[in-house]
């Protein structure tokens, strides 16, 4: 069954067409540059831009997937978590389409989308017969598995007992990892959102050049905390000077990123040791695009004996409707219930 999926949870207007785990098209129209001058996402602006752009992304997704509206068997839409008024745009459009086409509507949890994004497949991957593709991929994952969601809004290590049954093992007490990277980037004058540019700068920097504390991760504690590191970074940047040169920016970026990732790894190892899962870790969310982090997580995987699986393309790390369609197509087909926005919907309540 082909699903048309919509995500308007934050500042990306996105529509995709999926079938099982396959992504037939995935259109993402980012609003990031419009929000950049405010240094963060402005909800009312996000809502207006979603309204202006949603129809275009729907038409484009259908066109790229080479399907017409009558081929669509269900509409999936992100119901939460996210910005309430932004979510509302996608939900209203999804309802309108589901009624018009007389097909079911499926409300999807955005974090579940990120969580399952590493299991998505491109449309034309051989050698599996298209029909059985999703099933084949699923059989290769042994449940329970772990999922790490690292984005601008979330940092969660999740036990996936099976698809649709989740337990949060570790989470952040304050900032999300992506949020912390964005704030550090802003201190360095790198703009918003700054995770990707911070990574680029850090590549040319020495992570040991500046002293930054490693946030505490006492044995047995299962939460991250980035606020102390952020404050230390603020003081360090102030001390270093007002007109930072390129080398200073690169060194500071490398130092911050190094500590942020070390902290991520510490809490992960603590939690893994306590739970002793034996299959793999699925890694999703915007920060999963970071190549230095991927290298470190692969190393962590070798140490703990866990396979690490990332989404097949960087586009699937950031917000996109493809992952929402894949989550909707898999087990969690909870149709029939009314879809209302749920801005604070937790992944363990799906
Ligand atoms: O998943 P996402 O697009 O939106 C949320 O659901 O939050 O994640 C956005 C976050 C931002 O904080 C952004 O700076 C970060 O992902 N990000 C990165 C990279 N690309 C995006 N962080 C580190 N390295 C990157 N290459
Ligand atoms: Zn997201």
Indicate the top mutation candidate among 30, 32, 152, 175 to test ligand 1's pocket, ranked by most ligand atoms within 8 A of CB.
152
What are the pLDDT digits (tens) for 300-340?
Answer: 999 999 999 999 999 999 999 999 999 998 755 555 557 99
Q: 160: which residues sit within 8 A by CB, 6+ positions away?
A: 115, 143, 144, 145, 146, 147, 166, 282
**Whose Cα sits closest to atom 19 in ligand 1?**
196
Q: Is 193 in the pocket of ligand 1 (CB under 6 A)?
A: yes
Q: Write down the residue that tokens 């899962």 correspond to.
A: 277
What are the pLDDT digits (tens) for 56-94?
Answer: 999 999 999 999 999 999 999 999 999 999 999 999 999
What are the pLDDT digits (tens) for 196-254?
Answer: 999 999 999 999 999 999 987 666 678 999 999 999 999 999 999 889 999 999 999 99
Q: Is 178 in the pocket of ligand 1 (CB under 6 A)?
A: yes
| Statement: residue 47 has pLDDT above 90 | yes
* Section 267-290 average pLDDT: 90
Which listed ligand is nearest to 11 at the C-alpha? 1
Average pLDDT of the residues of the chain: 91
CA 37 to ligand 2 center in whole angstroms: 21
Cβ-contact 39, 186 below 8 angstroms: yes
3-class secondary-structure state, position 241: coil
Rounded Cα–Cα distance for residues 310 and 296 (Å):
13
The minimum-distance atom of ligand 1 relative to the CA of 151 is 8
Q: What is the DSSP string of 167-223?
A: EEEEEESS--HHHHHHHHHHHTT--SS-HHHHHHHHHTS-TTSS--PPPP--TT--E
Q: Going from the N-terminus, what domains does the chain have, and what CATH number goes with each? A: 2-120+312-349 (3.30.420.40), 143-310 (3.30.420.40)
CA 319 to ligand 2 center in whole angstroms: 5
Residue 130 pLDDT: 41
Q: Using a cut of 0.75, tell me whether the model's pTM lies above it.
A: yes
What are the pLDDT digits (tens) for 140-189?
Answer: 788 899 999 999 999 999 999 988 999 999 999 999 999 999 999 999 99
Q: Write down the residue that tokens 């079911």 correspond to.
A: 104
């Amino acid at each position: 069954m082909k699903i048309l999926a919509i995500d308007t949870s934050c500042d990306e207007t996105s529509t995709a067409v999926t079938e099982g785990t396959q992504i037939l098209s995935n259109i993402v129209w980012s609003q990031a540059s419009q929000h950049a001058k405010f240094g963060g996402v402005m909800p009312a602006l996000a809502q207006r831009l979603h309204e202006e752009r949603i129809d275009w992304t729907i038409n484009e997704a259908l066109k790229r997937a080479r399907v017409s509206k009558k081929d669509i068997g269900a509409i999936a839409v992100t119901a939460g978590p996210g910005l309430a008024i932004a979510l509302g745009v996608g939900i209203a459009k999804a309802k309108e389409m589901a009624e018009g086409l007389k097909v079911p509507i499926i409300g999807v949890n955005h974090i579940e989308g990120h969580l399952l994004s590493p299991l998505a497949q491109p449309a034309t991957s051989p050698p599996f017969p298209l029909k059985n593709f999703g099933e084949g991929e699923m059989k290769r994952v042994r449940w329970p598995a772990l999922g790490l969601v690292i984005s601008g809004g979330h940092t969660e290590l999740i036990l996936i007992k099976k698809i649709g049954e989740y337990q949060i093992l570790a989470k952040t007490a304050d900032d999300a990892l992506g949020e912390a990277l964005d704030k550090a980037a802003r201190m360095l004058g790198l703009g918003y959102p700054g995770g990707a540019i911070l990574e680029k700068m850090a590549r040319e920097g020495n992570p040991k050049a500046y002293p930054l504390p490693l946030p505490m991760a006492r044995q047995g504690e299962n939460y991250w905390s980035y606020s102390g590191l952020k404050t230390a970074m603020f003081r360090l940047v102030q001390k270093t000077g007002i007109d930072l040169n390129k080398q200073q920016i690169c060194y500071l970026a490398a130092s911050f990123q190094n500590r942020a990732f070390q902290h991520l790894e510490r809490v992960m190892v603590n939690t893994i040791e306590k739970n002793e899962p034996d299959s793999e870790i699925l890694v999703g969310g915007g920060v999963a695009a970071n190549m230095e982090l991927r290298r470190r997580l692969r190393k962590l995987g070798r140490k703990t004996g866990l396979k690490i699986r990332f989404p097949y393309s960087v586009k699937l790390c950031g917000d996109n409707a493809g992952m929402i369609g894949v989550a909707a197509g898999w087990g969690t087909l909870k149709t029939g219930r009314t879809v209302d926005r749920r801005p604070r919907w937790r992944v363990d309540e799906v």
